[in-house]
């Protein structure tokens, strides 16, 4: 990552991990460009961030809509207003089985978690490479190492995509890191109507810890960032478990999702 000044563009920057990225980077002196669907919430968060005496821009965009995503792509590729840091954070969960589930919901998941990450990264990279500096943090998940439906499949794509780019961009001054949190205290699970009462307290992370670890890791050029000793250990185990066992774990997780509250 380059200097400690410059603009950071954050998708899904009005809540959860995205909001924590915005607050942390604003406190460090970065100007911020926030992307989300809710204008009122964008303006509210922007006003809070301006207390750091920085510039804050807001872009209203639904990343499921290709024409709205194009607005964000244009902002990322604008040579007159360079983006130093891109945080691809926007996302949501789908508490349903794929077979018999709503296909349009699955398509929206793919649009936001995969297509948007690919297109926004593609828009940001030429300028970063030309300047010889920049950072892209793609918020993935430790769920990408297990078989947890289309959400896990999408996050597996994000992680491998980020790892591949970290190799491709070696020596350019541009770093790409997949941020792989576990259960984190945000609005994510409530919005997805997921049952989380059975998750033990030791498995929960604070969003600030996730963000601090991610920013340290991208600065060091690490392709994957995992916060929390519990998830560092679990992630290592998950990557080397026999696949039949991984599938067994995934099937139990899917069973829990099918009992999610609606």
Distance CA 51, CA 63 (A): 28
Cα 221 to its chain centre, rounded Å, is 17
Note the pTM of the prediction, 2 decimals: 0.85
Query: Each residue of 192-221: pLDDT tens digit?
Result: 444 455 666 756 678 899 999 999 999 999
Residues 6+ apart with CB under 8 A from 50: 56
pLDDT of residue 193: 43
Q: Map out the domains of the chain with their CATH numbers.
A: 7-258 (3.40.50.720)
How many CB atoms are closer than 10 A to CB 22? 28
pLDDT tens, residue by residue, 123-175: 999 999 999 999 999 999 988 887 778 999 999 999 999 999 999 999 999 99
Q: Which residues are catalytic?
A: 151
CB distance 163 to 178 below 8 Å? yes
DSSP structure string for 211-242: HHHHHHHHHTT-SEE--SHHHHHHHHHHHHS-
pLDDT tens for each residue of 169-180: 999 999 999 999
Model confidence at 36: pLDDT above 80: yes
């Amino acid at each position: 990552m380059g200097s400690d000044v410059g603009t950071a563009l954050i998708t899904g920057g009005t809540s959860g991990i995205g909001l924590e990225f915005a607050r942390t980077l604003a406190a460090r002196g970065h100007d911020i460009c926030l992307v989300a669907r809710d204008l009122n919430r964008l303006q509210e968060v922007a006003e809070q961030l301006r207390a750091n005496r920085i510039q804050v821009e807001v872009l209203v965009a639904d990343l499921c809509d290709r024409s709205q995503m194009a607005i964000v792509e244009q902002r990322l590729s604008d040579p007159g207003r360079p983006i130093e840091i891109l945080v691809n954070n926007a996302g949501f969960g789908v508490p349903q089985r794929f077979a018999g589930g709503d296909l349009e919901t699955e398509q929206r998941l793919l649009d936001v978690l995969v297509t948007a990450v690919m297109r926004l990264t593609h828009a940001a990279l030429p300028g970063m490479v030309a300047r010889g500096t920049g950072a892209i943090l793609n918020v993935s998940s430790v769920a990408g190492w297990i078989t947890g439906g289309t959400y896990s499949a999408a996050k597996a794509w994000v992680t491998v995509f980020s790892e591949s780019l970290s190799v491709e961009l070696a020596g350019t001054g541009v770093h790409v890191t997949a941020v792989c949190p576990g259960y984190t205290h945000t609005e994510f699970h409530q919005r997805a109507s997921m049952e989380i009462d059975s998750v033990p307290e030791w498995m929960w992370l604070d969003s600030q810890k996730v963000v601090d670890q991610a920013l340290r890791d991208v600065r060091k050029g690490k392709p994957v960032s995992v916060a929390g000793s519990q998830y560092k250990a679990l992630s290592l185990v998950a990557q080397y478990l026999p696949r039949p066992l991984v599938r067994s774990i995934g099937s139990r997780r899917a069973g829990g999702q099918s009992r999610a509250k609606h």
